[in-house]
Amino acid sequence: MTTTPVRQAPSIMAVRDLGPAPEREVARDLVKRGLMVLPIAVALAALSWGGAGAASVAFAAGLVLANFLLAAALLSWAARISLGMLMGVSLFGFVLRLALIAGAVLLVKDQPWVEPVPLGVTLVVAHLGLLFWETKFVSASLAFPGLKPSAEER
Amino acid sequence: MLLAELSNKGVAALTYGLAAIGPGVGIGYLVGQAVQAMARQPESAGMVRTTMFLGIAFVEALALIGFVVFFLAGN
């Protein structure tokens, strides 16, 4: 009796995704919206905490936007290699980005131009606010792909 | 006893460490499920990756809140 060789299916982890990178698009949108709101946030901080508050808000917003861009770049890079790599980069990228944010904040915390409260509040509020803003448009376009919000509606 | 010997900064740092565990577990689970979904239905990979990216960012906000509490409490 002869046995026919069985072709083994490739492991899930070895599969790669060579399609377009939606993370980059989402991150670009987030940065665009962040830059739109940033002058208002900086002006409000300047009114409440003076120049140090404004600088702290700008610094924190820059960190949040850079974090989004770095996350998107890492994920889209990893997805082109393999899904296993995507998993690894997601987890280690999380640790790496947290460490970078912590390092950047701890590095400047004793500088005279830093106000801790606006810096901390901006880190959380900018991150969550931008995400909620973006989610609104992403969920709309996922539910009704033909009805993407136009540029004016954004 | 050990906790009583820690300074305010030490407790804040410990809290930050604890606050980072939950998001780590969350991201691991989230990405695992997303990878499975992409492997099963490669045609929906774009949609899965978009929601995965947003999910990761939302989960990461928890760790950021932990860090901000550590930073503000340590000051």
pLDDT digits (tens, 9 = 90+) for A54-103: 999 999 999 999 999 999 999 989 988 888 888 899 889 988 999 999 99
Highest-pLDDT range among A6-10, A81-85, A133-137: A81-85
* Confidence (pLDDT) at B44: 83
pLDDT in tens, A37-59: 999 999 999 998 888 899 999 99
Question: Does A12 sit within 8 Å of B39, measured CB to CB?
Answer: yes
Six-digit token pair at A97? 């980005």
- B61 near A CB under 8 A: yes
pTM of this prediction?
Answer: 0.83
Q: Scanning every residue of chain A, which has its alpha carbon at the shortest distance from the alpha carbon of B24?
A: A91
- Chain B CB contacts of A142 under 8 Å are 47, 50-51
pLDDT tops 80 at residue A154: no
Q: How far is CA B22 from the centre of its chain?
A: 6
**Segments making up each domain of chain A, as ranges:** 23-134
Question: Does A117 sit within 8 Å of B38, measured CB to CB?
Answer: no
pLDDT tops 80 at residue A106: yes
* Nearest CB partner across the interface for A131, out of B57, B63, B67: B57
- A107 near B CB under 8 A: no
SS3 B47: helix
Those residues of chain B that have pLDDT short of 70 are 1-6
Of B20, B26, B25, the C-alpha closest to B69 is B20
- B61 or A17, which is more confident: B61
Of A130, A150, A125, the C-alpha closest to A140 is A150
The DSSP annotation for B15-63 comes to: HHHHHHHHHHHHHHHHHHHHHHHHHH-GGGHHHHHHHHHHHHHHHHHHH
Question: Does A15 sit within 8 Å of B39, measured CB to CB?
Answer: yes
Predicted confidence band of residue A120 (pLDDT cuts 50, 70, 90): very high
